[in-house]
Structure 1
């Protein structure tokens, strides 16, 4: 017994010593790039199916190159173009359909979340010469199918630049800031329908279909920009808040040879969230959806006479999601994804819009559609059928038979297929494995080669104190909710630890996922090394558990989500190793709304909360997002007000930190200002910070380091 005791003491001492030798993660490590992960940037298959291209960057000297690699060997075949001499540093690329031209983006300047201004060049792959498209910064340039011209938007008008003659033709004339936008989306479409380019060439380059936005009657939002000047100035843009007027959107058709534009009559279409040409150059598909976003219609437009016919429609008691999962096959039959059976699945329709068959089915979700192999009649996709926190890659016959598992290693698998569907490059990560890029056979998923494995990062992290996420489920309010927990590396179940909960909770979102660490995860690891337990639970309304689980929050955003997080905190606090008197919660954006609500409505459960860039009233947020889940304030006033925390500031008992960027174009600082005023008038003590001119991401320079230093200090002092 004595020997066993000595062995135990020795082992315990060894483990303690080895743990003590590990470095603790610091905020500087996180925010100054110590854990930078290597990727394969802008990976795309060449049309030949045997090669792929990747955009490579060098930090010193700063340079970029577009390189071609062979799938089978993974060896570089050639450098197609590199920045040097007449070719400036470029940050993205797009090939013409025949791959004889490549469009290069330089001097990129962000506008909002997705939109960019830039100087663009066309590089001739055969002739090895380069042409600047415009001397001015432009938006969303797009090569014609034959690579002879570039269409783009400048100052809200559409232009076409002919590469041979170097002539530019303006095809819309009425573009005006704050009034008329041609060819790109307004703010709310960009943010909520997630696209910017609102024009498209047809398959032979004879027509350009485009959207026109008349935002003249959309209310104006203005925010002060402080900068370095003596006087601040106001940045103004049109932002339709819930219940307010949206831009009037219309569809138009430009005939390239005739040089004229015609209108397409879509009746009473309210939103036009997608346009996409079919393979037939005279057929355009157009998706429209009503203001409630519960009735989607897809039309087919005949480009010869602009005749409109209904091709497909979907209705839902709550809302219909807009996705990019629409693929027209060679005969213009089409593949589509839908939640109509309760889970997101793939469907095959004929060119006449009649259902041929449901391709996938089961109590799991298709999470990405990768493509259709015409030769083998197979569809490739990603799904959660190996568990909602995991992602696997699969193939299946277009008839829904002979499904094959291609990549199913526990964790998150994603795929980029060759044009011939002979190969795919798999991107894999898990909560314990950084990104790995491997080459596989598309026929059976057999791994052929490791391309990039991030071993350098993996080895570096071995010297740091890390605790793996523990995945589990927790039964809350009649549902088994996904959860992860991070415990201190020297966790002792006989001790009590403070608990910090993290969540986002937005509709269809997922934070509990078996994937590699993000910056928040590294911060959570750092807190665990300081003696905190960190946990995250995806409550009702989040994604990957079916339509009904996601849409139960309809008309009552944040109500059920808040109830779930409060119940989680109560249940976890009963664990013997959790100190029930030291429970905190934090979140960003939707998660900031949640953490604020939890602290107020769960004031007997939570002792502390941090809210970063929170919504505090859905009345302040935009039409498309908010009305999708809540309808308008006039239709649902209680849904808007019963869970807006500045309506009950008197409930605050715990410690509260509120943070916002004054330049947030998305969740306006107005949300925090109203919350601050309500708390002041209720004479409540709290802390707050405003980051001048910072947007919803609150970053730039040392901003994130400063923010997380403040958050860390607040956690340590109050939890």
Structure 2
């Protein structure tokens, strides 16, 4: 339910010899292109870690695939010129969306002509280029256009497996012979990929795995029969409405039945892995082959998501073995960064078992569990390893929850950690680390500093080469002379909350100003981040209409503040958040007399829209004007995996669902309220808006509503949408929340 957006902008230059201050207009904020940042940290490391590859535009047209030496010597090599991607018998060049090499680096798999499936463009066409013969050949050319998904080479590079029409296929690279591995794929049986809720909440999309020896393919199958189907009505693209139908399990209702199995890559019968438990009351979130083996490492979570069982199942080996069980009184997380150590006799595992998220070393049989990191801090993300040096690299920020830094620890040490990010670079650091852990593409930024990208050696963090400094972008931003985002502390009872504020450029501390709070407040994300976000131009624009823009991270937000901070909201999503927002802004008003408590507005998107409604309805004497966007009005209307993770089921926690749902409190509305929703929202359904409107009308509450036909959760499709939405928000605030200092 998270949606956080950034927009890029830069300053218009005056014709005078000095730069006059330029306050960005809404058109500039929406259209961007004035503060132009360059470069990116996303590169494809080659398997040995000495080079990385990326796409670069060829002056003659198309894109070359080039490789750079990581050691800082600056050597550039064109691995594949754009001319190699010309379709046979034509003058058309493939538009390369992404690419991957086989293990020999003699073949490259090219993904092109892509189509979006819900969030991401996971369906398209695939071509194989033989880099020695220069032969370019399309895979599955007799399948419908843009219908292949998740194609990947076999370990020896002789075959490619892919999904089409909910079935799995294997194609020989040499002769194009296709073997169909599954035959029951349909509108309700999904092989090798996932249904809507697994994709959205477990980030599951690619649903099959090659065995290390290339003899088998293991895969997920989802049976959506019995799951409730949701209908979206498209009234704008044809004379008569069209119905979009898809299975969507709402909280407390029937899930898909999901199981995993394996089949010979040459074809044959699938063997299903006999995991205990009702497949509709358990989730199989992760499955990978243990390196150099035919053992599958499977994570299975129960429906309440408070128990994660790890199973090892061997191809042809009978009953799987449960080697590890992770439990929590609230919820547990999926482990996405399992790494195998010491000839695959140990693996890494993240856990909050001591109250903080730390990394552990677990023996293959699960009997020996030892901490790799220790201390009163959260490991935020494991980002790489140097197995020769015995080091793991990870992100943490023990002293400032809005920032991010690189640390290292010994994989077989005593839990001691060492900070590697430079002490003089305060903000957030990201790393794309080479497979051998020797090099990293390092990106540093903060709220007022555009990304600086460089290649560094690890663990010394010595700069080897500068990839992009973005000096011009920094100059463009500084020429705007905007007031920087300020990080402050707010209090809710005994809790200390992180917050930020942005003031108008003509701010006068002797005056009182209205406030617009930008809220999220759900457990999935955090808004108070000291990182470059395009200069926060939408917030700056609002501030310069005469508002102070503030955001507060309430308890339960995804901040690295320990288990208790994050999970104290279990069963109470929506209640503590709105309480902290109300108490937090009143505390800031006590600290900063320039805040006018008679003019407090609030807005949020998705979960932030829900919190906006809760604040407006439950604390009407604090919040005077609200704009709620793409909101959940009744938590029973959202999906099983997300909502039940934090709230259990409506059957088990009816009072929690009632208390956390804004629709329960519409009688409290006193102020000005604007509802915004896309009618084509497959995530948070427009049904939420209609049900809330029905309740508001029943109670005689005056409000305003803006619906965007066939826009999704992002409300950014179709011409003019983003500008119209932002202009509508601006106008509503200016009309109902008087701007400017008084």
Instruction: Settle same-fold status: TM greater than 0.5.
Output: yes
SS of the counterpart of 2:541?
Answer: helix
Q: Equivalent of 1:290, from 293, 302, 324?
A: 302
Bigger shift: residues 677-686 or 278-287: 677-686
- Provide the C-alpha distance between the structure 1 equivalents of 2:180 and 2:137, rounded to a whole number of angstroms: 19
Relative to structure 1, is the Cα distance of residues 305 and 601 closer, same or farther in structure 2, using a 3 angstrom cutoff? same
SS of the counterpart of 1:438?
Answer: strand
Q: Equivalent of 1:430, from 443, 446, 457?
A: 446
- Provide the C-alpha distance between the structure 2 equivalents of 1:221 and 1:423, rounded to a whole number of angstroms: 47
- Provide the C-alpha distance between the structure 2 equivalents of 1:518 and 1:273, rounded to a whole number of angstroms: 34
Q: Equivalent of 1:443, from 424, 435, 459?
A: 459
Q: Equivalent of 1:212, from 209, 218, 221?
A: 221
Q: CA RMSD in A?
A: 2.0
Q: Who is 2:105 aligned against?
A: 99
SS of the counterpart of 1:273?
Answer: strand
Show structure 1 runs of 5+ residues with no match: 1-16
Report the alpha carbon displacement of residue 256 of structure 1 after superposing the two structures with TM.
Answer: 2.0
Paired residues of 1:190 and 1:196 also in contact (CA < 8 A): yes
Q: Who is 2:709 aligned against?
A: 692
Confirm whether residue 531 of structure 1 aligns to residue 530 of structure 2: no
Bigger shift: residues 601-610 or 82-91: 82-91
Confirm whether residue 155 of structure 1 aligns to residue 165 of structure 2: yes
Report the alpha carbon displacement of residue 645 of structure 1 after superposing the two structures with TM.
Answer: 2.2
- Provide the C-alpha distance between the structure 1 equivalents of 2:453 and 2:588, rounded to a whole number of angstroms: 38
Q: Who is 1:5 aligned against?
A: none
- Provide the C-alpha distance between the structure 2 equivalents of 1:313 and 1:125, rounded to a whole number of angstroms: 46
Paired residues of 2:491 and 2:583 also in contact (CA < 8 A): no
Relative to structure 1, is the Cα distance of residues 82 and 632 closer, same or farther in structure 2, using a 3 angstrom cutoff? same
Counterparts of 1:217-366 in structure 2 under 5 Å? 217-257=226-266, 259-268=268-277, 270-329=282-341, 330-366=343-379
Q: Equivalent of 1:110, from 106, 116, 131?
A: 116
Paired residues of 1:608 and 1:654 also in contact (CA < 8 A): yes
Confirm whether residue 476 of structure 1 aligns to residue 492 of structure 2: yes
Q: Who is 2:429 aligned against?
A: 413
Q: Equivalent of 1:665, from 677, 682, 687?
A: 682
Report the alpha carbon displacement of residue 81 of structure 1 after superposing the two structures with TM.
Answer: 4.4
Report the alpha carbon displacement of residue 689 of structure 1 after superposing the two structures with TM.
Answer: 0.7
Q: Who is 1:8 aligned against?
A: none
SS of the counterpart of 2:450?
Answer: coil
SS of the counterpart of 1:698?
Answer: coil
Q: Who is 2:23 aligned against?
A: 24
Relative to structure 1, is the Cα distance of residues 55 and 344 closer, same or farther in structure 2, using a 3 angstrom cutoff? farther
Relative to structure 1, is the Cα distance of residues 404 and 41 closer, same or farther in structure 2, using a 3 angstrom cutoff? closer
Q: Who is 1:51 aligned against?
A: 51
Confirm whether residue 169 of structure 1 aligns to residue 176 of structure 2: no
Q: Equivalent of 2:555, from 533, 537, 540?
A: 540
Post-superposition Cα deviations, 1:690-713, rounded to whole Å, max 9, x if no partner, equal 111111011023211111111111
Relative to structure 1, is the Cα distance of residues 306 and 453 closer, same or farther in structure 2, using a 3 angstrom cutoff? farther
Post-superposition Cα deviations, 1:494-527, rounded to whole Å, max 9, x if no partner, equal 01111111111111521111100258x2111111
Q: Who is 1:467 aligned against?
A: 483
Q: Could you say which structure has the greater relative contact order, defined with CA pairs below 8 angstroms and 6 or more residues apart?
A: 2
Q: Who is 2:394 aligned against?
A: 381
Q: Who is 2:195 aligned against?
A: 186
Paired residues of 1:616 and 1:675 also in contact (CA < 8 A): yes
Bigger shift: residues 504-513 or 561-570: 504-513
Paired residues of 2:385 and 2:392 also in contact (CA < 8 A): yes
Q: Who is 2:7 aligned against?
A: none
Paired residues of 1:498 and 1:582 also in contact (CA < 8 A): yes
Bigger shift: residues 37-46 or 167-176: 37-46
Confirm whether residue 77 of structure 1 aligns to residue 77 of structure 2: yes
**TM-score with structure 2 length normalisation?**
0.91
SS of the counterpart of 1:527?
Answer: helix
SS of the counterpart of 1:605?
Answer: coil
Counterparts of 1:554-703 in structure 2 under 5 Å? 554-574=570-590, 575-700=592-717, 701-703=719-721
Q: Who is 1:705 aligned against?
A: 723
Paired residues of 1:103 and 1:122 also in contact (CA < 8 A): yes
SS of the counterpart of 1:642?
Answer: helix
Paired residues of 1:278 and 1:332 also in contact (CA < 8 A): no
- Provide the C-alpha distance between the structure 1 equivalents of 2:61 and 2:332, rounded to a whole number of angstroms: 45
- Provide the C-alpha distance between the structure 2 equivalents of 1:73 and 1:227, rounded to a whole number of angstroms: 56
Paired residues of 1:296 and 1:314 also in contact (CA < 8 A): yes
Q: Who is 1:4 aligned against?
A: none
Paired residues of 2:180 and 2:267 also in contact (CA < 8 A): no
Report the alpha carbon displacement of residue 163 of structure 1 after superposing the two structures with TM.
Answer: 0.5
- Provide the C-alpha distance between the structure 1 equivalents of 2:162 and 2:571, rounded to a whole number of angstroms: 40
- Provide the C-alpha distance between the structure 2 equivalents of 1:102 and 1:77, rounded to a whole number of angstroms: 16
- Provide the C-alpha distance between the structure 1 equivalents of 2:356 and 2:102, rounded to a whole number of angstroms: 36
Paired residues of 1:475 and 1:481 also in contact (CA < 8 A): yes
Paired residues of 1:347 and 1:357 also in contact (CA < 8 A): yes
Q: Who is 1:522 aligned against?
A: 537
- Provide the C-alpha distance between the structure 2 equivalents of 1:641 and 1:314, rounded to a whole number of angstroms: 30
Paired residues of 2:359 and 2:379 also in contact (CA < 8 A): yes
Post-superposition Cα deviations, 1:462-509, rounded to whole Å, max 9, x if no partner, equal 332421111122221211111111112232210111111111111152
Paired residues of 1:40 and 1:54 also in contact (CA < 8 A): no
Relative to structure 1, is the Cα distance of residues 456 and 69 closer, same or farther in structure 2, using a 3 angstrom cutoff? same
Q: Who is 2:137 aligned against?
A: 131
Report the alpha carbon displacement of residue 36 of structure 1 after superposing the two structures with TM.
Answer: 4.5
Paired residues of 2:574 and 2:659 also in contact (CA < 8 A): no
**TM-score with structure 1 length normalisation?**
0.94
Show structure 2 runs of 5+ residues with no match: 1-15, 88-92, 738-742
